[in-house]
Amino acid sequence: MKQVIDSNISAGKDPMGLAATVLYLSCQSYGDISKTQKYFAETAEVTDVTIRNRCQELRSKIPTMTISA
């Protein structure tokens, strides 16, 4: 999340969507693939499309994020 804020990617984005996306990506990168985009979307009360879009955006703007799809 610090990288997202420092990169100014968070400007104008829904905080719950970004937080859910960062949690999703963290789970994916640390091997807990049981939690889906839909799970985090429902928990954060955003759409799974929001999670998908934020994932794409974070991966393109922060190349060091090497997360599987």
Task: Locate 54 and state its tokens.
Answer: 């934020």
CATH number for the segment(s) 2-61: 1.10.472.10
The C-alpha atoms of residue 49 and residue 52 are separated, in whole angstroms, by 5
Predicted local confidence at residue 66, as pLDDT: 53
Predicted local confidence at residue 38, as pLDDT: 95
Task: Locate 3 and state its tokens.
Answer: 């990288």
The pTM score is 0.81
Predicted local confidence at residue 45, as pLDDT: 95
Between residues 23 and 68, which one has the greater pLDDT? 23
Q: What is the pLDDT of residues 19-44, one digit of tens each?
A: 999 999 989 888 888 999 999 999 99
**Sequence-separated (6 or more) residues with CB below 8 Å from residue 68:** 28, 29
